[in-house]
Amino acid sequence: MVESDVSMSRSSESTRRGARLRLLQMHYESCVGHIGGNLSCLDVLLELFHERMCSGDQFVLSKGHAAGALYITLWSKGLISEAHLSTFHRDGTLLSGHPPASGVPGVTFATGSLGHGLSLAAGLALSSRWLGSPETVYCLTSDGEWNEGSMWEALIFATHQDLNNLVVIMDQNGLQGFGSTQDVADLSPLAEKFRSFGLTVLEVDGHADNILPAPNEIPDHRGPLIVLAKTVKGKGVSFMENRMEWHYLPLKSEQYAQARLELEQ
């Protein structure tokens, strides 16, 4: 059993490895899929919660099917117990397959269907500004999610309101439910589309150290800050990496054993 270390730094490779192992264990024991997209965004979430978010900052997981990665990150912060992880996706659990409406520390909204999280995050950012609060609101989206018109409506709103206390992070792993983002509904060049709104766009490696900038490192940006994090679906497990089917599949026992072996080595 991988135990939580509330003082750990996400910059440690052992931290990332331990989080991946615990995520795989949780999904395997519950026989639940969506593993690939959880592994692609886990490094971003670990850095965000351990090294970037300050007291009072808020987070919205718009790609709700990555709830497992969020739960593991909250566990690594000591906010969710081992006992709760063992109930993941089971009857009566607080840790449902998508974030619930209440009951989990660090989870503000239920985000099931894609395309709604950015609107919620924009509302939080606007209310924080009205209240004179210094907090930053972070929203993690998937790249396939930007096929939703509601995402662009939310972006228009956030830009018009000049919500520079909103950071929008895209988990850009290049795959979605039925194929690659390029084949399903190509939105490239993405960075240029966001820049056409007059926004600051950062293109980063979603698995490197220091993925996300501290807010004071980009003091002059107007409107929401856009971070395009290039990631690998199924990161860390050879037979999952860049494979669309791991958007859905649960792990069989022999696959789980192989994945653990690869991560432990």
Model pLDDT for residues 206-220, shown as the tens digit of each residue = 999 899 987 677 878
pLDDT at residue number 13: 82
Which stretches within the chain are classed as H helix?
13-30, 35-47, 67-76, 82-85, 117-130, 149-160, 181-185, 190-195, 253-264
Listed residue (69, 23, 75) closest to 43, CA to CA: 69
pLDDT at residue number 236: 95
| Regions in the chain scoring below 70 on pLDDT | 1-11, 215
pLDDT at residue number 213: 84
pLDDT at residue number 112: 79
12: its two tokens = 């440690």
pLDDT at residue number 215: 65
pLDDT at residue number 221: 85
CB 215 within 8 Å of CB 242: no
Q: Which amino acid is at 119?
A: S
| Topology at the third CATH level for domain 13-264 | Rossmann fold (3.40.50)
Q: Kindly report, residue by residue over 221-250, the tens digit of the pLDDT.
A: 889 999 999 999 999 999 999 999 999 999
Peptide bond into 189 cis (omega under 30): yes
